[in-house]
Amino acid sequence: MTEALVVTGLDAFYGEVQALRGFELSLMKGEVLCLLGRNGAGKTTALKAIMGLVSVRAGTIVKDGKDLAQLPAHEVPKTGVAYVPQGRRLFAEMTVAENLEIGLMTRGKGKATRDAVIDLFPVLRERLNQRSGTLSGGEQQMLAMARALCLEPDVLLLDEPTEGLMPSMIARIRETVAALRERGVSTILVEQRVDAVLSLADRVAFIENGQNRETVPVDAVRAYPGFLHRYVGVG
């Protein structure tokens, strides 16, 4: 297996507060890698650092031979890395179609991409002219994922995509991530729900105090609940 993204020695800061210390991660092509750790461990910061959205003072983030840490934030999505932040961050005043258009423009994609993405989330087809701020929570999450997929990413970063959703929507999001894996997309998933992690992840990377700890196959997490006890406080 080859790597889709390799992070080494990352130090990330909010002002003078250091949130990541020598953080490392290897994302393999076509895998779902879950980041697990307690509140404040640095999971969200790890995704933001990859996207260039926090101050990175040391380390590398290598994709296709290019160091993303050297790029301005607006260049990162153009390399094929798409990010769905916690809380979705849609343009609430814009319609569904306009939000999708922003995703398409990022990498110059067109109608074929748009049609393929809408096929994944048919509920959006009926709502293309609706203001996105008036969608339900589940629909907004679909739209946030759809907008990310309009980049035709090969690396997808998802921050708690099932937070606050009802079970049918959670299942839909899971199915979508699994379907994208079948197409070779590599995903880093930040997820609090251990059941969701166990059902979807290929590997689990534990994070504590801004540092990476063990990265293990999901079967090992099932077999040794002590991992969860130690790093998440459950199990």
Residues that bind ligand ATP (CB under 6 A): 14, 17, 19, 37, 39-45
Q: How far is the CB of 38 from ligand ATP (least distance, A)?
A: 7
- Which CB, 14 or 91, lies closer to ligand ATP? 14
Nearer to ligand ATP by C-beta: 74 or 193?
A: 193
Nearer residue to ligand ATP within complex by CB, 152 or 159: 159
Output the furthest CA–CA distance in the chain (Å, rounded): 49
Give least dist CB 176 to ligand ATP, A: 22
Give the pair of three-digit tokens for residue 97.
């179609």
Give least dist CB 149 to ligand ATP, A.
Answer: 23
Distant-in-sequence, close-in-space partners of 45: CB < 8 Å, separation ≥ 6: 12, 14, 19, 20, 54, 210
Closer Cβ to ligand ATP, 77 or 210, answer by number: 210
Least separation, in Å, of the C-beta of 126 and ligand ATP? 33
The nearest distance, CB 41 to ligand ATP, in angstroms, is: 4
Nearer to ligand ATP, 96 or 165 (CB): 165
